[in-house]
Structure 1
């Protein structure tokens, strides 16, 4: 039933937007992801809902009927949830949360487990991946991500700020020397992350008040942030990690920051979730809980 409701929500968003491309932008998703979800819905129902090609987007008769009914159903569900929420503080149902693998494993997983203990009637699914995740295609209630496109159909709640840190083990730096200026990185073994076909080998620094990139030559490349972290920790070279991923290693001395005086621009972590006039209490409760913990953590320098 939850999948049907999510399909109804997606379908009404597509129709209201007037195109798959605009709907994908509004939902902070991609056109292929939205198209696949729509095709799966049509296959499940056994009927064409929207006639679409490069120049044409029109509801079929069945699609028009479903759109009208779906709007009424979603409005009734929203009204019923609002009424129920006024009578209880108990969180129920399913909450599906997505996050980057290392952030999720090292930072969020304990918080998710503790929140589950606080709300035993709530089923939580915690989905982690090094690959880019999609709030529509991955059927998520909340997605923690770095870059967010403005939209009136999704809410992006700022959760934390951090920065990319160039780091290595003291053993590696004792063997190879500590870089004194950004261009010294060109003489080092650099460990790089790959996303899709793109290798992140342009490392941002700020030198003399001017932001610029240093294009390094990777010694090792991987599409897993966890593997990259283990390579850095193993002393194989210098790599880039988010500060929140390695703060404990920096504090303990297992890792050492390189070129801290040339640090690049900061980054922001957002929690993204679909916009609804009535937001399920479980989403707000979880984000309020995590926000409080993040503020406490950042107060300690994470």
Structure 2
């Protein structure tokens, strides 16, 4: 191979090989790249012919890189990273965002706040193609096929990750309950009077049964609750609170109208859960394209305008 002249197209085929190995199958790589599966298979076959080695096992139940394929994949990853960096550099000089931008975001946050901005961004920047996928469940440190992940975290609860973490906004939360739930308890003057009452758990913090509360003087206390109901979706938690299932922690943006109209109340007006910080996460600053940088900066402003921090 060293003695042969390698065609320039091999670089493109190597990047497609990287995408295929990352995706785990030709079908998945086809969906991600938009290249038909048959064309993708042919181009990897051409790459194998040019290199003179087999890169992939393609059995009906087994799709994986060969031993030499793994070594070439590891080196090709670096080539792809450099190409991405070159494209980002060229794009920054042209000041014209373009290309694909794949974003993962928790469902409720996507529906209530991020989708509005993402749709507007795609309309303004006509050469940017955005995919906004709703994530469900616990935070996964593997970014997979995404260029960006939007993730909320309370305090230091976010799992360790090698991803770059950029703060977008801080959202104020409230401890709430329905009037029907609070009526038998009477007037509450201190957090200790709510100890071991029914609470509604949230998957994002591991269904914790001990909640931190902070008062206006920045004093903290721990509130133990009896988790009678839990969910991984804040809309469901809100519905459970409205139904009288127990105490709940909700973003102020989500429950403000309920509080104003009396559907929910503040059991302890002087105490609230700590704010939740929304982050943008991505593999490296060098890999983030101009479109990605503009999206992150604009989304930060959008969220700060719509998520009161106090």
Calculate the TM-score normalised by the size of structure 2: 0.68
Distance 1:66 1:277 in 2: 20
Residue 104 of structure 2 corresponds to which residue in structure 1? Answer: 98
3-state SS in 2 of match to 1:108: helix
Deviations 1:147-173 (A, max 9, x none): 44566x522111111344210234543
Of the three residues 83, 86, 95, the one matched with 1:79 is 86
Alpha-carbon distance, 1:187 to partner: 6.5
Q: What is the DSSP-based 3-state SS (H/G/I as helix, E as strand, rest coil) of the residue aligned with 1:86?
A: helix
The 3-state SS of whatever aligns with 1:102 is helix
Query: Which residue number in structure 1 is paired with residue 241 of structure 2?
Result: 232
Structure 2 stretches of 5 or more lacking a match? 1-11, 24-54
Q: Does 1:202 align with 2:196?
A: no
Q: Residues of 2 paired with 1:295 and 1:8: CA distance?
A: 39
Deviation string 1:232-281 (CA, Å, 9 cap, x unpaired) is: 12333321123343344335544322313233433322111110425201
Counterparts in 2 of 1:133 and 1:174: CA distance versus 1, 3 Å: same
Structure 1 residues 71 and 231, CA, compared in 2 at 3 Å: closer, same or farther? same
* Partners of 2:16 and 2:143 in 1: CA distance: 12
Equivalent residue number for residue 258 of structure 2 = 249
Pairwise CA distance, 1:283: 0.9
Give, in angstroms, the shift of residue 122 of structure 1: 2.3
| 1:24 aligned partner | none
Alignment: residue pair count: 257
Q: Which residue of 2 aligns with 1:47?
A: 65
Tell me, what secondary structure is at the counterpart of 1:216?
A: strand
Work out which of the residue numbers 220, 225, 230 in structure 2 matches 1:216.
225
- Residue in 1 that maps onto 2:51: none
CA gap 1:292/1:235 in 2 versus in 1, 3 angstroms: same
CA contact (8 A) 2:88 2:289 kept: yes
Q: Secondary structure at the match of 2:270?
A: helix
Task: Describe the SS at the equivalent of 1:257.
Answer: coil
Whether 1:68 and 2:75 are equivalent positions in the alignment is yes
Deviates most, 287-296 or 76-85? 76-85
Q: Which moved more, 1:181-190 or 1:111-120?
A: 181-190
Mark the CA change 1:247 to 1:126 in structure 2 (over 3 Å): closer, same or farther.
farther
SS of 2:130's partner is strand
Taking the aligned partners of 1:238 and 1:46, their CA distance within structure 2 comes to 49
> What's the TM-score once normalised by structure 1's chain length?
0.69
Once the two structures are superposed, the pairs formed by residues 1-302 of structure 1 within 5 Å of their partners are: 4=17, 46-49=64-67, 61-89=68-96, 91-134=97-140, 136=142, 138-145=144-151, 146=153, 147-148=157-158, 153-174=162-183, 176-186=185-195, 188-194=197-203, 198-206=206-214, 211-298=220-307
Cα distance in 1 for residues equivalent to 2:122 and 2:232? 31
In 1: Cα distance, 2:291 partner to 2:85 partner:
14
- For the residue of structure 1 that corresponds to 2:230, the secondary structure is strand
Deviates more, 1:213-222 or 1:129-138: 129-138
Unaligned runs of 5+ in 1: 11-40, 50-60
